[in-house]
Each structure stands twice: as structure tokens, then as C-alpha cells.
Amino acid sequence: MSRLGSMGARLYRGEVSFDFVGKRKIFYGIAVLITVLAAVGLFKPGLHYGIEFSGGGVFTTPATSISASEGKTLTEKALQGEHEVIVQKLGTGGLRIQVSDVDAGNAEEIKNKVADGVDIAPDKVDPQVVGASWGEQISQKALTGLGIFMVLVVVYLAIAFEWRMAVAALAALVHDLTITIGVYALVGFEVTPGTVIGLLTILGYSLYDTVVVFDGLKETTRGITKQARWTYSEAANHSLNQTLVRSINTTVVALLPVGALLFIGGGLLGAGMLNDIALSLFVGLAAGAYSSIFLATPMVADLKERTPEMRALAKRVAARRAAEARGENVAGPRDAAEDDQPAGAAAGDHGDRDRASGKRR
């Protein structure tokens, strides 16, 4: 068995445990700090919307020796600073020149100025014009789709699990979304339909990872109020440790091909929709892995510990441990079988160990 596999087995059996829930305030603080930094990027420098959202014109040139920065300077000079210009170097060697405030009436004039600025024949420049009204409709549809997705997530989790898990999952999704969009603003990539596709994809992936963790948590904490050895937070932490290696493996396997798209494919083939999708996927997958492990389950534990049932359980656990510290024998028939595992885990794991040792439950 590999070292990672051995660690996973030890985590599952409870021989090794990382206190994610107990140190949740530290992880909350890290998440808040990263989220605030990402949110600052939304205001300065802000998002750069592609023409699909803001409207404008895109002029694609054939292969040229002019770099993206030189093309931007030359185009701005040719347009006399009257339009916002974004220039990207394509994998074909050509330039993708995006110009704001372009419509069907002035598209030909702008194309000639752009061609003159980069010293390319106008008939070799490929123009594409998108109206502002069409871009506004696309923006509204993207926001509508995102809103519907969020509502369905909350409804599903509330039905499949409970409302506390739905709230925690929604907070994790907002965390992932804010960080991804903030990084987009800081890096300066355009927001295109590819970006929206990537965002919806990583939100779905983050939800999948969170559901896997919550499913294990639900199983582990089933019937937890019938014992007095584990609090809900301790059981939640044990459940999280059981699924930790699986979450890490899944995330790493997903990040490898996405990283190849972003750093190799985007670098070799040039900027475009490939980079837009890859960046949102890469940042979102990493943020989703963090939120599923360090935020979602600790938040559920926080919410559950405030219920009367879990407060009473915590008091019983504290009283039992105080009695054990005094040397009193307080183990009952059920608790004796749960010395190493919380309620739900004991039902499955101890049965296997008991059969292996010849014991009868």
C-alpha cells in the first residue's frame, strides 16, 4: 500500500486525526481574508467584460510580429484614445483587438483605423461587432442561470440532508464564486461565455465534493444522541478525516488536466476561450476543495452544536469524561462498543473488528 493510501486507512480508522472542526476559527479567518482580497479586485481593477457582455467590436489580424502590448499602444494611438482597447496575441501569431463603443455604423471606420495603426491591409482584418443590447441580454441570462443554480442547490440539500447543511453549502459556493471572480479581476482576463461555463462547472464540482463530505457526516452522526462518548463536533471531525484523502485525490486528479489547459495549452495556443475556461476551473477547483474541507463541515458543526439536543449531548459527554477522570467506570453496553468510533461509524466499523476478533455484538 502506498504511503498516501496507508495514511488514508489510518485516517479512516481514527488512528490519525486532524482537528479541522476544533480549529475552525483559524480556517474561517483564512477564508475571509482570501475572499476580501478577491473582492477588492472586483472594484479595482475590476472585471474586464468581453464584447459578448459589454458590446463592441473585435478585429482579428493575420500573423504579425507585433506584440500584444505594442498592438495596444498602436491601436490606442490610431483611435486617439477615444475607445477602450484590449489586445491579445493569438496562437496563430495574429492579434485579437477588442474595441469598445463600436456599432454597425462606425465598424468600417474603426476597422480601417485599427488596420492602419498596426500596419496591416484593411481587407485582411476580420471584424466582428456585437451590440450593447445583445450583450446586456447575455449578462442577464448568465445571472439568471447562476441564481437558478443557487436556488436548486439549497432546495436539494435541504431535502436530501437538512437546512443547516444547505446553508453551509451555499456559503461555500459563495466563497468559491467570489474568489474565482476576484482572481479573474486581478489577473485581467476577459469575462466571456467561457468564463460563465467554467464558473457553473466549478460550482457543480464544489457541490459534488461537499455532498460527498456531507453524506459521510450524515452516516457518521446517525443516532449520535444515543451515546455519551462523542460530541457532534468530534463526530463531524472524524467523518471529515475519513473522506479527507478521497477529497484530496479527487481534486488533484481534476487539477492536473485543467492546469495543463491553463499553463500549457493557453501558453502555447494563445489567449482565448481556452484560457477563460481553464482559469475559472483551476481557481474554482482549488477554492472548492478548501471550502468543502475547511468551511462546510465546520459550519454545519457550529450550527448543530447550537441545538438543544447537541447541547445536552455535550453536557453528557463532559460529565462522562469527568467521571472517567476520577476513575469511575461509566461505560454502558452501547458505549463499550464505541470507544474508538462515533455513533454512525461504530455501527459499521466495530462490527468488522468484532467479527475478526471472535466477539459477538
CATH number of the domain where residue 214 is located: 1.20.1640.10
- Rounded to the nearest 10 degrees, how much is the dihedral formed by the CA atoms of 97, 101, 103, 105? -110
The pLDDT of residue 329 is 67
Among the three residues 308, 330, 353, which one is the final residue of a domain in this structure? Answer: 308
Closest C-alpha to 279, from 355, 186, 211, 213: 186
In this predicted structure, what is the pLDDT of residue 315?
93
- Using CA atoms of 283, 288, 290, 292 in order, give the dihedral in degrees to the nearest 10: 180
The reply to whether 154 and 167 lie within a common domain is: yes
CB 95 within 8 Å of CB 88: yes
Task: Please indicate, yes or no, whether residues 113 and 20 belong to a single structural domain of this protein.
Answer: no
124 shares its domain with 138: no
Residues 257 and 194 in one domain: yes
- Do 188 and 298 share a domain, yes or no? yes
Torsion of CA 310, 346, 215, 3, to 10 degrees: 120
Is residue 317 in a domain? no
For position 343, what pLDDT does the model report?
A: 53
Same domain, 168 and 96: no
At 336 the pLDDT is: 38
Same domain? 90 vs 25: no
Low-confidence ranges of the chain (pLDDT < 50): 1, 333-340, 346-361
Q: Please tell me whether residues 110 and 166 are part of one structural domain.
A: no
Structural domain total, the chain: 2
Answer yes or no: do 271 and 138 share one domain: yes
* Same-domain pairing of 297 and 228: yes
Q: Is 170 inside any structural domain? A: yes
Domain boundary among 130, 152, 169: 130
Domain extent, residue 112, equals 56-130
- 65 to 117, 271, 287: CA distances (angstroms): 14, 16, 38
Let me know: does 8 contact 2? Beta carbons within 8 Å: no
- Compute the 3-state secondary structure of the chain and give helix, strand, coil in percent, each to the nearest 5: 70, 5, 20
Task: State which H helix or E strand residue 58 sits in.
Answer: strand 56-60
Q: Residue 350 to residues 18, 88, 225: CA-CA distances in angstroms?
A: 22, 61, 18
Kindly state whether residue 125 falls inside one of the protein's structural domains.
yes
Question: φ and ψ at 84, to 5 degrees?
Answer: -80, 135
Torsion region of 99: left, alpha or beta (phi above 0 gives left; psi -120 to 50 gives alpha): beta
- 177 and 67 in a single domain? The answer is no
Strands (DSSP E) found in 131-238:
190-191
Confirm whether 185 is domain-assigned.
yes
Residues 126 and 138 grouped into a single domain: no
Q: For 311, phi and psi rounded to 5 degrees?
A: -65, -40
- DSSP class of residue 89 equals E
Indicate the average pLDDT of the chain.
79
Q: How far apart are CA 171 and CA 295, in angstroms?
A: 8
Q: By three-state DSSP, how is residue 337 classified?
A: coil
Domain assignment of residue 325, yes or no: no
SS3 266: helix
Q: Are strands 56-60 and 95-99 parallel, antiparallel or unpaired?
A: antiparallel
Here the CATH number for the domain that contains residue 75 is 3.30.70.3400
Sequence-ordered alpha helix ranges (H) in 263-307: 266-269, 273-290, 297-304
